Amino acid sequence: MQKLLEIKAKIVNTIAPLKEKLTGHPKMKALREKWAARRAAGPNPDNLLTILRHGSWGARLRAVVFLLLLAGAAGGFWWTTNLIVKRFQKSGAHLVDASTYENELAALNERIRSSAAILNIGAITFNTFALDGRPMNGNVDVWARFSDPETAGWANAENVKVLDAAIAGLNDLQPGRMSLFSEQGKELAKVRIRERMQALLPKGKVEEIYFHNLTAQ
């Protein structure tokens, strides 16, 4: 009990100077004087409630008319809004055929499925020939699109084997001294890579091969 009294005394001793300081602040004094002046002046004569209680009959009548007009405007707004909503609901403009949602969902699922079936095989440094027949080196990022995400998942798990198949497909251009920088060479390299990768797959298909960042060293 003694401790509680001591704590209470400390709180009082802490609050008292703060309260005194706040009470004596110029802004607080000005605010109290403003409130006192308002109370001394009595009710605001322009206040609607004051007019209804203490105004003349003419002023009261004008106040009542104003309130009726305000109520009528609010009622008209509610009625108009309600009418618009009912017409909108009746027109069925807010309704969409369920088949539309089904088609959009199917298209979205197909895009997700297609994205999941595309795999980055890896970056490869290869030997090739320039368009004028000179030996040279190059770099390329090889990507593949598989028939389904499951096949792409298998290829990702067996990435070393699949990458070796892609390298072998690029090397197939060497005997004919065909340049990978020619359009014919690119198409032939894609065919060879697809064939070699397809031979590895337990199921599914390699549908397309893509080259990105094809550069010469």
CATH code, domain with 171: 3.30.479.30
For the chain, 217 residues long, give each residue's pLDDT as a single digit of tens: 566 677 767 776 777 777 776 676 777 777 777 777 766 666 555 566 666 666 677 767 776 777 777 777 777 778 888 887 777 666 665 555 556 656 676 666 666 666 668 889 999 998 888 888 888 898 999 999 998 889 888 999 999 999 999 999 988 888 878 888 889 989 999 999 999 999 999 999 999 999 999 888 8
Tokens of 134: 């000179």
Residues 64 and 132 in one domain: no
For the chain, how many structural domains are there in total? 3
Instruction: Give dist(CA 18, CA 24) in Å, integer.
Output: 10
Instruction: Give dist(CA 206, CA 148) in Å, integer.
Output: 9
Domain membership flag for residue 55:
yes
Residues 131 and 150 in one domain: yes
Instruction: Give dist(CA 112, CA 176) in Å, integer.
Output: 40
Q: What single-letter amino acid sits at 68?
A: L
Could you tell me the residue range of the domain that residue 31 belongs to? 2-41
Residues 17 and 83 in one domain: no
pTM above 0.75, yes or no: no
Residues 146 and 212 in one domain: yes
